[in-house]
Structure 1
């Protein structure tokens, strides 16, 4: 019996088998360091992941084929013989993801004993060598540190008679448990893609994704500010400042509801003025490039240029391009501002050519040009182009008739006296309220905005008694001079006639401000206005204005008109002839004032249209609006002017006129629908080009004026040092606020601008 006990002691050691998680983890912690491939960013596993009873076979391993290939030295899947444990511990590291080599075959019998395949299920770490007919422990062979465990790592175990006892003994060994835990953790790390490099890549990918989300929010914030036309920067943008500017303050506000902004604005920031300029530049270029693609597709375009002086006393030239798409929809697009120091024709011409070259626009495709203020700047713009297509309805009569000039000077001084003082304006308001009238303000006279002149004259006319009372209460030398000038028949009479004239021209001015009207429509409106002005040039209308002026003078106790003292002719050589004609007071106002004003404005409007060489335009409108065929000379003129084939125009004209006989469209908008409905834009390509050219010709430069309104909102006295590129970009994004921005494309261009950004984003 004693012999039996000794033999049992040899097989069963007096210690508990610790197969729980805590012991296994503790064993791993106390073990010696292993090679890098054995422990890859180890982590603690759940209890059910560390037990020896866990089934781990090559069939349920979730590692992909690509991962297996990445751990092998060959590019193809190796044969089972190469996984045989007889090749030593080194091969175990190569096939770590495939696990133990567990072939199922007819195992050879030695002394009536053989290896049993059922042991694979009981001992998932067990593997078998077909070459040696011996069993090995895959985790221990993989680790290969303990020399006293050679039967399961180097030489192999083959005592099949006591196989179960010996396998249990090895499984209970602490060193085996350490090896088993390391193997399981390594597999888990591989299966979860949490090895060191992949963890770094995943973390970087996560950070880059968050950074791109943050960058998108920066772009959205900048885009919002440009659409609203408000400033970006503050006077002080340091952390301690209470107002760091709209851009930073808006980000701070949004960070309350956006964790990404809250986190990243402290980590990577990207909020300084250089980044702002870059984002503005990228967004404006995207909008500009989209406009340029539309212009290239339309081919023909017109240019409109105007000039103004900004708050910094710098000359700013505004360029607007007008074009028509395939559906005959007219577009007038602002292209930007350019700074200029000279207003000579040569300087403007060179500026325009360089600008168009930069935009990659062919000068040969320009079909019309429009420059505001042509009558005053004709000499300066002479070198810009061979033709000047300028249509402006308003004429500066005040510089041509002295009495009218004096009246406008009085009204301008009246505005400066009353509206530039809060105290005097309050007096004017109080007098209106006492009279039971709605409080009105006197408008400022403008040299370019003619509608302002009508608004100003209207207020002075309907509030004349209250203005007189205000001047009587104001204690200032200027008020007495203005009161003396306004309390005269001369001022009242001129006020009546100029109010009537500006009422008519203001209607024309507003009509011509539309970008959707054609030349023929503009001409019709102009003709109607001129005819109306001519209808005022008679005795009856003069008597009406004269009587109104007398009535107002009587109501306000103003002296009636008096005959002016005759000027004495100098009695010297060349002093002039004596005026033998004697005019009474009424004839004087009728001839020297009333008729003179009407003749001046009528003649100026007619001359302004005549000098713009609109004969080609009228030919095209005749071509499209009437059933009459253009003669040979007219067709050749159009073909030469716009580089079109004479034969194509002549043939397509007949086809168009034949189709036109079935209907009678009377206006260009009706012709537009007629061409599209009958698909003539496809069937008659040359006629289609001419019709697009006709719609492309501008009637006014109002879009340039609108850009100057944007300029005044953006470049204020607080932002007077704004750079030219930033100013032009802000103006473009504000004017073209309806244009959509592709934020993803902006992010792509922003990141690719510098190599270091590719790491961050």
Structure 2
């Protein structure tokens, strides 16, 4: 308002001057308006105007928080979407839920509505539609009754950012509906090392994780048994060899896998005990690494970093603990419990 009053007073004054000089008023008015507009923000009137504008309340912005894979919501595994077109991307689920969701879909098997009336599509060569016999040939094949398109269950569960190789994205998110080219299904499967076959192998391992775990455990047990037999024979300690294997009683040879595991566990406890006794009440650091074992269960390895009595820096493994999930509170509880079992306190590390 002040600026408009200033402009009006200047125009009135210029009109009076123009009447005295006989000049054209319109040109002078335009010049004065330009001069008025060129007045910088340092002028008193502009400063007042800016202050008035600053007094006006600024509306607060509306912030919308988008959901992310790190947000864990409760999911009913029995109520997962069956139709492929209704499923969100597998990566949109929380990391700790993807394993259970994948397994639930594999147990339910691919969505194959064999009694559905498949839609006809007109092509230049004639009418074509989805052939129900393809379900028998491709167990991974799914059909969306809402979109009238085909999808791949394996590639959906283990979807990776590898582009549209082998029409992979077509069978994951877009959907396949070119019924005049059934060879595209075989092309999607590809060779032995194709992306689809790798996903299929992961699905098989997930379903048969116990069998895979038992096979690997059997191999490792055999290696341990051979190593323990050499130790029990007294290769490194002749005093032990006097009472084992051939010199021991038939029912007390200590060669059974379960007994050898117990012996190895005793060795591990004694070594861990020596490490903790060396630390005692001194300070130490913790190195924690979390990963999945062969059975796809979360586990956490804990390593202590300390300086011994002679000033040598050491890093020693004191245990491996299985955890329910990877939340920070769960990991902390597992660490505290592991340290307590070894007569150590997490407060010793907090003094570093």
Give TM-score scaled by structure 1 length.
0.19
> Is the radius of gyration larger for structure 1 or structure 2?
1
Higher strand share: 2
Query: Comparing both chains, which one has the higher relative contact order based on Cα–Cα distances under 8 Å and sequence gaps of 6 or more?
Result: 1
Greater fraction helix:
1
Please report the TM-score for the alignment, with normalisation by the length of structure 2. 0.35
